[in-house]
Amino acid sequence: MNPMRLSLRLSLPATRWIAALVFAGAGGSFTARAASVPTQEIDLATALQLAGARSLDLQMAKKRVAEAYAQKSAAYLQFAPTLFAGASYRRHDNLIQNIEGQIIEADRVAWSYGPSLSLQVDTGDALFKTLAAKQQARAAVFAEESQRQESLLLAATAFFDLLHAKAAATVSGAAMQISADYLRQVETAVAAGIAFRGEELRVKVQHERDQLALRQSQEAAQIASARLVQILHLQPGTLLDSKSPLLPIDFVSKDQPLEKLLSEAGARRPEARLSAAQIAAAQHARSGALYGPLLPTVSGLASIGVLGGNIQGERSRSGESADYQIGVGWRIGPGGLFDPSRTQAANARLALSELSAEKVRDEIGRQVMEGWARTRSLSDQIQIAHRAVEAARQTLELTRDRREFAVGNVLEVIVSAQELSRARLEWIRLVADHNKAQFLLNRAVGGTPPEAPSTAAAAAKKTSK
């Protein structure tokens, strides 16, 4: 199976049922206390699209690419001559020394105008710096792609955190509704004199705890929204909400062997290609240090224009004037021939680039292995948590039946409700962690996630196939 293809294979045959059970009976939305703040709906596909278009880190990476290509163009321009155009005026009065060494008195004026071309190229440096600049431009492109994938990962992680917090608020609201209903029943029984006042207080304590958990979940949802707003570079103060269901999603098939994932990561990750481009640039720089001084420095000058002037008392004379000059030479000493420090520095930079590439390969391998192990483990944990939710639900139903027949007590009901709420919250946490781990594994193997289901209806449609 292609790891880039989005798979909505759920970890459980009854996952949709368990999701409905988890979210059933909500006592209120996490936006209830922020009703005055306008909210915007968002789904995973929109979050990823905005991250790819508005992320400040990604925009900075794009500017670095533009800078690298500008430096590449500047490197090519080292081989081009410089064009000058202008005019000059010079006047001399009184004594001057002639070419025979005699001191004479002369008053004269000279002027000129016209274009000129000048060229001075350290051929070796220019050649190898151009090759290195080309590799650095390629490295900047890979760095941009790496930052793009990192921005998508941050956006997806924040989005799943938002879904997690919202689902936790829904479960806490459902628990609060259960305790509120039971509190009313016990209060009625106490008023009728058929129940102990302590049982009412026990239920009331649990109800207050459920209210506290609901408020904490609402806070977590708003904080997750704020973090997602920052990552997507939206207007500060925007409150994000989502109707997307929190269901297990596979971005990478867990059935793929680890060796295949490692191989794909080595070939696809932009960081690996970035390291290769940096090594190539360092190799060109080293070649420039070794062989560049052997190539000569070429200089040239061409000036074509009008030259004029006169000696005091004589008529001015002017006419066309042209000068040409070309030279070839070698630099000896610092920066040229017989400069071992330059070669040593280039060797050290190349060795550092190769060591950095080794670190990148090790890091990619760790990410793939960790993601592979974590996604498989979380998939199993979701199944375990599913069974725990079902057991807790049946326990609460049986405890309620015992209460109706006056066999059980209030404490049993409270404990059963607590266990059900904890089991539901644990299932939600595992699903959110599973989705984040799946997205991280997809990032680790160098994949670009496709569009995820944008609504609950789309998710239900795909999962029913």
Give the residue extent of every domain in the chain.
15-86+107-463
Closest CA to 296 of 92, 62, 119: 119
pLDDT, mean of residues 102-106: 83
Cβ atoms within 10 Å, residue 172: 27
Q: Tokens 């059970």, residue?
A: 21
The pairing of strands 95-97 and 103-105 is antiparallel
Report how far Cα 418 is from the mean position of its chain's Cα atoms: 40
Report how far Cα 452 is from the mean position of its chain's Cα atoms: 19
Contact by Cβ (8 Å): 273, 135: no
Tell me the pLDDT band of 336, cut-offs 50, 70 and 90: confident
Spatial separation of the C-alpha atoms in residues 284 and 139, rounded to whole Å: 14
What pLDDT, on a 0 to 100 scale, did the predictor assign at position 451? 45
DSSP H or E stretch at residue 103: strand 103-105
Residue-wise pLDDT for 393-424, tens only, equals: 998 888 777 655 454 466 777 788 888 999 99
Torsion angle of C-alpha atoms 217, 222, 225, 231, degrees rounded to 10: -110
Spatial separation of the C-alpha atoms in residues 422 and 431, rounded to whole Å: 14
Listing DSSP states for 28-75 in one string gives: --TTGGGTTS-EEE--HHHHHHHHHHH-HHHHHHHHHHHHHHHHHHHH
What angle is formed at CA 10 by the lines to CA 41 and CA 385, rounded to 5 degrees?
95
Q: Which two tokens stand for residue 340?
A: 């071992």
Lowest mean pLDDT among 69-78, 118-127, 193-202, 287-296: 193-202
Spatial separation of the C-alpha atoms in residues 341 and 334, rounded to whole Å: 8
The fourth-level CATH superfamily of domain 15-86+107-463 is: Outer membrane efflux proteins (OEP) (1.20.1600.10)
What pLDDT, on a 0 to 100 scale, did the predictor assign at position 463? 32
Contact by Cβ (8 Å): 448, 151: no
Cβ atoms within 10 Å, residue 274: 22
Lowest mean pLDDT among 4-18, 84-98, 267-281, 373-387: 4-18
What pLDDT, on a 0 to 100 scale, did the predictor assign at position 163? 94
Average pLDDT over all residues of the chain: 82
Spatial separation of the C-alpha atoms in residues 432 and 434, rounded to whole Å: 5
What pLDDT, on a 0 to 100 scale, did the predictor assign at position 464? 32
What angle is formed at CA 122 by the lines to CA 116 and CA 123, rounded to 5 degrees?
105
What pLDDT, on a 0 to 100 scale, did the predictor assign at position 115? 87
Cβ atoms within 10 Å, residue 329: 10
What percentage of the chain reaches a pLDDT higher than 70?
A: 85
Q: Tokens 């050290």, residue?
A: 348
Spatial separation of the C-alpha atoms in residues 215 and 211, rounded to whole Å: 6
What pLDDT, on a 0 to 100 scale, did the predictor assign at position 26? 38
Contact by Cβ (8 Å): 434, 11: yes
Spatial separation of the C-alpha atoms in residues 122 and 337, rounded to whole Å: 12
Strand partners, 89: 111
The pairing of strands 39-41 and 239-241 is parallel
Strands (E), 279-438: 297-311, 317-329
Q: Which two tokens stand for residue 407?
A: 């066999």
Largest CA distance in the chain: 135
Residue-wise pLDDT for 24-57, tens only, equals: 433 344 444 444 567 889 999 999 999 988 889 9
On the 0-12 / 13-18 / 19+ scale of CB atoms within 10 A, 333 is exposed
Angle between helices 15-23 and 123-191 (to 10 degrees): 60
Contact by Cβ (8 Å): 272, 147: no
Spatial separation of the C-alpha atoms in residues 330 and 22, rounded to whole Å: 79
Q: Which two tokens stand for residue 337?
A: 């021939």
Residue-wise pLDDT for 254-286, tens only, equals: 888 999 999 999 889 999 999 999 999 999 999
Residues 6+ apart with CB under 8 A from 53: none
Tell me the pLDDT band of 465, cut-offs 50, 70 and 90: very low
Residues 6+ apart with CB under 8 A from 26: 170, 173, 174, 177
